[in-house]
Structure 1
Amino acid sequence: MQLVDIGANLTHESFGHDLDAVLQRAREAGVGQMVVTGASREHNPQALELARRHPGMLYATAGVHPHHATEYTEECDAELRALHAHAEVVAVGECGLDYFRDFSPRPAQRRAFERQLQLAADLAAAGNPKPLFLHQRDAHADFMAIMKQFDGRHGPAVVHCFTGTREELFDYLDQDWHIGITGWLCDERRGQHLREIVRNIPANRLMVETDAPYLLPRTLRPMPKDRRNEPAFLPHIVEELARDRGEAVEAVAAASTATARAFFRLP
């Protein structure tokens, strides 16, 4: 089983002391490629540096998460554009809206989101289209309205760490966007509805991710003592996903890997 983890926060401080061991465990588990999430001015260059240190295995995104929207200045925009000149940076984002936490004022979130969609549109217009790595939580109407402003002007899009409703899922699929599924699926308190609807995602729109070190699958056994999620646990998520879809594990693994490689243009 060869897997691609499309969202791992490997610049997180919890990986600072043992990243090489984390990557080795991932390889042994069949997770051969990982996309390191860039979500702030601090972590975007770190994600690129990790990708450069591990060519062919790690790739990076560069963007500003809605939690950090207030840091989106003209200087920040210039930094992002410089980062996207590098081939190792394979997607714009993580970007979007988060009205659940509201760590940044909503007008600032909307402005930062629009600026990053403009960046994606400019890259596409310049012949260097990069996919969008999107975040949406409790902000569906505004999220869809802002995306509609840029309809047809950006590359493919994935709504990463999808936790939303059936209606939201079909809105995204109607736009031909991709869906990223995490260990949220394994949470009997919050993820039960996902088990019912993941079978509706076409195989060529479905990708998998850990969102490590967050969202440790609650059904994982044995549980790591430090409660830290890591890419080596991705096969567990794929097994649960396959069961909920009524498909063979190998089929879900092969399809999600092929989809991820095509989406991010990975070798």
Structure 2
Amino acid sequence: MIDAHIHLEQYDQAVLEDMLSGLPGQGIDGLIAVSMNLESSVRTLELARRAPGLIKPAYGYHPEQPVPEEAELAALLRFIEEHAAHMAAVGEIGLPYYSRAEALERGLPFEMEPYIRLLDTLLGAAAQLGKPVVLHAVYEDALTACDLLDKHGIRDAHFHWFKGPEEAVARMIERGYYISFTPDIVYEPEIQALARRYPPELVMAETDGPWPFEGPFAGRLTHPAMIRDAAAAWGALHGYSPAQAEALLSANTARFFRLYESTGSLE
């Protein structure tokens, strides 16, 4: 299988080495490694250079942090352009739902416009380069993201670990956008309901590691092999065997990220 969304560069180095060496025996042969910012993107590139057949890098700026200074954003855009030939997608990018909710809960102001401009800029870069995008855009933010995707004519969009209103779900399905399910599909009724609703041909599996999970995964380090649990739970909702679910979700992931296409050098 292919983990459609993981933050590899955030793992402890010793843990990462052990984890990567064991993946072939655990049925995992691909990792879409997303990035948080320029520094994170550089680390992701270095990891991909060490395991080019296994790690497929994505470069971007995660929205749940302060908006970058103009010089940093310019440097990130140059980095993305320079390494576009081999990257799987522009990501992780999106809008800061959780930061905004936390600020508002504390009675603090939160300015969304800079984040919308940032996402607009990064989507523009992806459109120019012809690359898929990996989005952090949940609940009502998904509608804003959809507006910007329409603006740039982007159809290859992956809303990772998505939750949102029916209006957003219907629009995303109509546009053919992909979503992915994490191991929380095993124990979260809200996620299970979305899984029943979303077309199987537009679904992938991810861990978002090292983010931890609850239920049967409580206290365990998030591992790419957990996508097999997510696939089995998703498959059960649709009447697929675990093997059928794994094959379908893997094919979807390879198709979305164009993993069958040749890529440029990581140098």
TM-score category (smaller protein): 0.7 to 0.9
Residue in structure 1 matched with residue 3 of structure 2 by the alignment:
5
Residue in structure 2 matched with residue 158 of structure 1 by the alignment:
158
- Unaligned stretches of 5+ in structure 1? 124-128
Q: Give the aligned residue type for 1:183.
A: P
Residue in structure 1 matched with residue 127 of structure 2 by the alignment:
121
Number of matched pairs: 250
Q: CA deviation at 1:146?
A: 2.5
Residue in structure 2 matched with residue 175 of structure 1 by the alignment:
175
Q: CA deviation at 1:72?
A: 5.2
Does 2:79 align with 1:91? Answer: no
Instruction: Calculate percent identity across the aligned residue pairs.
Output: 26
- Unaligned stretches of 5+ in structure 2? 104-109, 261-267
In 2 relative to 1, CA 141–79 (structure 1 residues): closer, same or farther, beyond 3 Å?
Answer: closer
Mapped contact 2:180–2:204 kept (Cα < 8 A): yes
Greater Cα offset, 95-104 or 198-207: 95-104
In 2 relative to 1, CA 217–131 (structure 1 residues): closer, same or farther, beyond 3 Å?
Answer: farther
Residue in structure 1 matched with residue 264 of structure 2 by the alignment:
none
Q: Greater helix share, 1 or 2? A: 2
**Residues in 2 aligned to 1:108 and 1:69: alpha-carbon distance in whole angstroms:** 10
In 2 relative to 1, CA 105–31 (structure 1 residues): closer, same or farther, beyond 3 Å?
Answer: farther
Q: Give the aligned residue type for 1:54.
A: A
Mapped contact 2:183–2:226 kept (Cα < 8 A): no
Q: CA deviation at 1:75?
A: 4.0
Does 2:149 align with 1:147? Answer: yes
Q: Please report the RMSD computed on the Cα atoms of aligned residues, expressed in angstroms.
A: 2.1
Q: CA deviation at 1:155?
A: 5.2
TM-score (norm: length of structure 2)? 0.85
Q: CA deviation at 1:69?
A: 4.8
CA deviation string 1:196-231 (max 9, x = no partner): 2312322321111000011425233xx5x4x32121
Q: Please list, as runs of the form range in 1=range in 2, the aligned pairs for 1:114-263 lying within 5 A after superposition.
A: 114-123=120-129, 129-138=130-139, 139-150=141-152, 152=153, 154=154, 156-187=156-187, 191-216=188-213, 218-220=215-217, 223=218, 225=219, 227-263=220-256
Q: CA deviation at 1:112?
A: 0.9
In 2 relative to 1, CA 169–184 (structure 1 residues): closer, same or farther, beyond 3 Å?
Answer: farther
Q: CA deviation at 1:256?
A: 1.1
Q: Please list, as runs of the form range in 1=range in 2, the aligned pairs for 1:8-47 lying within 5 A after superposition.
A: 8-12=6-10, 14-47=11-44
